[in-house]
């Protein structure tokens, strides 16, 4: 990716030269510059793990209010306005009961 030397905007290829989208400056493409088109990008696959809902979540020692188990998965979410603290969610590793904790 090239950026305009004058205005620092992204330059786009056009007929063998790079053209600034903001100021229109034209720059010769350097030897060895390679453009990647969408057709050249390799397709990626995503694996979804449904069997273990908590896979990949960190755990902590926290007592479940439902079953008394002492291990829970945890994660943070910003539910209120950005100037307020995040909400901590917990999910029991034994019974899957989910609860939240506020600051």
Per-residue pLDDT of the chain (103 residues; tens, 9 = 90+): 688 889 988 888 888 788 998 898 998 887 666 665 555 556 766 655 454 555 678 999 999 999 999 999 999 888 777 787 888 999 999 998 999 887 6
* Residue tagged active-site, from 40, 83, 101, 103: 83
DSSP 41-73: SPPP------S-TTTT--EEE---TTT--SEEE
* Residue tagged active-site, from 51, 84, 86, 101: 84
Question: Catalytic site residue 83?
Answer: yes
Predicted confidence at residue 49, as pLDDT, reads 47
Q: Are 18 and 10 in contact (CB under 8 A)?
A: no
CA dist., res. 52 & res. 70, Å (int): 19
Predicted confidence at residue 48, as pLDDT, reads 52
Cα separations (Å) of 42 from 1, 13, 46, 48? 18, 21, 13, 19
């Amino acid at each position: 990716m090239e950026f305009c030397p004058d205005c620092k905007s992204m330059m786009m290829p056009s007929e063998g030269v790079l053209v600034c989208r903001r100021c229109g400056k034209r720059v010769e493409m350097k030897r060895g510059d390679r453009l990647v088109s969408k057709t050249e990008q390799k397709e990626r696959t995503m694996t979804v793990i449904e069997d273990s809902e908590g896979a990949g979540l960190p755990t902590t020692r926290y007592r479940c209010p439902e079953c008394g188990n002492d291990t829970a998965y945890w994660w943070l979410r910003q539910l209120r306005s950005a100037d307020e603290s995040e909400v901590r969610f917990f999910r029991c590793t034994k019974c899957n009961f989910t609860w939240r904790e506020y600051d």
